[in-house]
A and B are shown apart, each in its own frame.
Chain A
Amino acid sequence: MTWNDKRIETWVGVMLRTGVMLAAAVVLAGGALYLAQNHGPRPDYEHFHGEPAHLMSLRGIGHGVATGDPRSIIMLGLLLLIATPVGRVVMCVVGFLFERDRLYVAVSSLVLVILLYSLFFHK
Chain B
Amino acid sequence: MNELWFVVILFLSSTGAGLLGALSGLGGGVVIVPLLTIAFHVDIHYAIGASLVSVIATSSGAAAAYVREGFSNIRVGMFLEIATTLGALVGAWLTTKVPTQAIGVVFGLVLLYSAYASLKQKHAEMTEKPDPLALRLLLKGDVPADDGLHHYVAQRVPLGFGLMWMAGALSGLLGIGSGAVKVIAMDQAMRLPFKVSTTTSNFMIGVTAAASAGLYWRSGYMAPSLVMPVMLGVLAGSLIGSRLLVKAEVRTLKIVFALVIVALGIEMIVHSATGMGA
Contact = CB atoms under 8 A, between A and B. Distances in A.
Are both chains from one complex?
A: yes
A119 B57 contact: no
Nearest to A42: B6
Nearest to B53: A78
Interface in B63-111: 63-64, 66-68, 70, 72-75, 78-79, 81-82, 85-86, 88-89, 92-93
B3 A41 contact: yes
A122 B61 contact: no
A118 B212 contact: yes
Contacts of B220: 49-51, 55-56
A82 to B, nearest CB: 4
A30 B207 CA distance: 25
B137 A103 contact: yes
B230 to A, nearest CB: 10
Contacts of B206: 16, 84-85, 88
Interface stretch (B37-45, B112-120, B127-135): B37-45
B249 to A, nearest CB: 26
A21 B138 CA distance: 33
B64 to A, nearest CB: 4
Nearest to B228: A31
Interface string A1-39: 000011011101110110110011001101100110011
B1 A118 contact: no
Contact of B2 (A28, A41, A110): A41
Contact of B46 (A16, A45, A81, A117): A45
Given A16-B60, A81-B57, A115 B224 contact: no
A119 B53 CA distance: 14
Q: Which one of B7, B57, B93 has the greatest number of beta carbons of chain A within 10 Å?
A: B57
B57 A24 contact: yes
Contacts of A85: 56, 59-60, 206-207, 209-210
Interface string A79-92: 10110111011001
A17 B61 contact: yes
A27 B215 contact: no
A80 B268 CA distance: 32
A31 B231 CA distance: 11
B138 A103 contact: yes
Given A9-B72, A39-B4, A40-B3, A81 B231 contact: yes
A13 B64 contact: yes
Interface in A105-121: 107-108, 110-111, 114-115, 117-120
A46 B70 CA distance: 44
Given A9-B72, A23-B57, A103-B137, A118 B228 contact: no
B211 interface: yes
A103 B78 CA distance: 11
Interface string B197-221: 0000001001101111111011110
Contacts of B64: 13-14, 16-17
Interface of B: 1-4, 6-7, 40-43, 45-46, 53, 56-57, 59-61, 63-64, 66-68, 70, 72-75, 78-79, 81-82, 85-86, 88-89, 92-93, 137-138, 203, 206-207, 209-215, 217-220, 222-229, 231-232, 235
Given A39-B4, A110-B82, 10 more contacts: A28-B228, A39-B2, A42-B3, A42-B6, A48-B46, A71-B224, A71-B225, A88-B63, A118-B215, A122-B214
5 contacts: A13-B63, A24-B235, A31-B228, A88-B207, A115-B85
